[in-house]
Amino acid sequence: MLISFYRVFAVSILGFAFIALTGCGEEAAPNLSAAVAHVKAQAGEITLVDIREPSEWRQTGVAQNASTISMSHPQGMPGFAQAVHLAAGEDFAAPVVLICRTGSRSGRLVSHLKEMGFENVSHVPEGMLGSDAGPGWVARGLPIKTVP
């Protein structure tokens, strides 16, 4: 009897973990490689947003066609979200793709923006300088605009 209880308990925990990790059937916007993000941004299919600090923009440049909206907005997360909303044509359903140095910060911000009403937000996991997800925008030789 005790073994059955533990077996049911373990299966229940695994089921809850699966639901939590998969979003209970909610379809997440796919993450994009730097190359695909470049093509889609150039075609006007996405709003690409570089969320890094201004000093980072000056250091490496910014992805061509990207809006520069630092996640360290003077008005905090609400100000950041409002700036992204404006960049996306004030459309919460418009596809927004975030990029940062290595994909770490942009990956965390995806869920924050979804909580704030954005419906189609994803990110570039390899970022500008590369990560385990890929070599990054710079190493791929994709177009960069300089920031003074």
Residue 18 lies in a domain: no
Residue 15 lies in a domain: no
Tokens 């947003």 sit at which residue? 49
Residue 21 lies in a domain: no
CATH at residue 32? 3.40.250.10
**Structural domain of residue 139, as residue ranges?**
28-145
Residue 130 lies in a domain: yes
**In angstroms, how far apart are the furthest CA atoms of the chain?**
71
What is the value of pTM for the model shown? 0.80
Task: Report the alpha-carbon distance of residue 138 to residue 133 in Å, rounded.
Answer: 14
Residue 141 lies in a domain: yes
Residue 50 lies in a domain: yes
Interval 58-113: pLDDT, tens:
999 999 999 999 999 999 999 999 999 999 999 999 999 999 999 999 999 999 99
- Residues, the chain: 148
Which range is least confidently modeled, 27-31, 33-37, 125-129, 135-139?
Answer: 27-31
Interval 4-55: pLDDT, tens:
434 433 333 434 333 333 333 344 568 999 999 999 999 999 999 999 999 9
Residue 2 lies in a domain: no
- Specify the number of domains making up the chain: 1
Q: Please, are residues 105 and 71 in contact by the beta-carbon 8 Å criterion?
A: yes
Residue 72 lies in a domain: yes
Helices 104-115 and 76-87: angle between axes, nearest 10 degrees: 90
